């Protein structure tokens, strides 16, 4: 089984569907993205050495808050793929639907942590 399939199975096994995105942190000029949510355990996903980060917020979603807080986002889908780029380097493509936000992240590494 390919590494991307193992990662996808691991993420799917965490039961992310309809879980609240509790933390979304963008660091180092979009080079590192961290997201966190809780189901039965707390899960942290780290996307490291990012090349592309695309955030889209649903236009129809009415934002209630006028401050800098993230709108409540609920996971609907997380899909992983790999593309081959220059010099046979693999890059992960991660598409996340966390209504009302959608993310597309291209990165070298994905780290998954379970926090007790």
pLDDT tens digits, one per residue of 7-50: 999 999 999 999 999 999 998 788 999 999 999 899 999 999 99
Of the CA atoms within 13 Å of residue 100, those in its CB half-sphere come to 11
* Residue 1 pLDDT exceeds 80: no
Q: What is the pTM for the complete model shown?
A: 0.86
Calpha distance 16→51 (Å, rounded): 25
Per-residue tokens: 97: 């639907």
């Amino acid at each position: 089984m390919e590494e991307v399939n193992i990662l996808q199975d691991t993420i799917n096994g965490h039961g992310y569907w309809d879980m609240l995105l509790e933390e979304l942190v963008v660091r180092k000029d979009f080079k590192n993205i961290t997201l966190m949510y809780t189901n039965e355990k707390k899960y942290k996903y780290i996307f490291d050495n990012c090349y592309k980060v695309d955030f889209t917020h649903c236009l129809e979603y009415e934002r209630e808050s006028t401050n800098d807080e993230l709108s409540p986002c609920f996971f609907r889908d997380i899909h992983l793929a790999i593309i081959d780029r220059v010099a046979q380097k693999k890059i992960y493509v991660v598409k996340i639907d966390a209504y009302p936000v959608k993310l597309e992240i291209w990165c070298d590494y994905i780290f998954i942590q379970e926090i007790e």
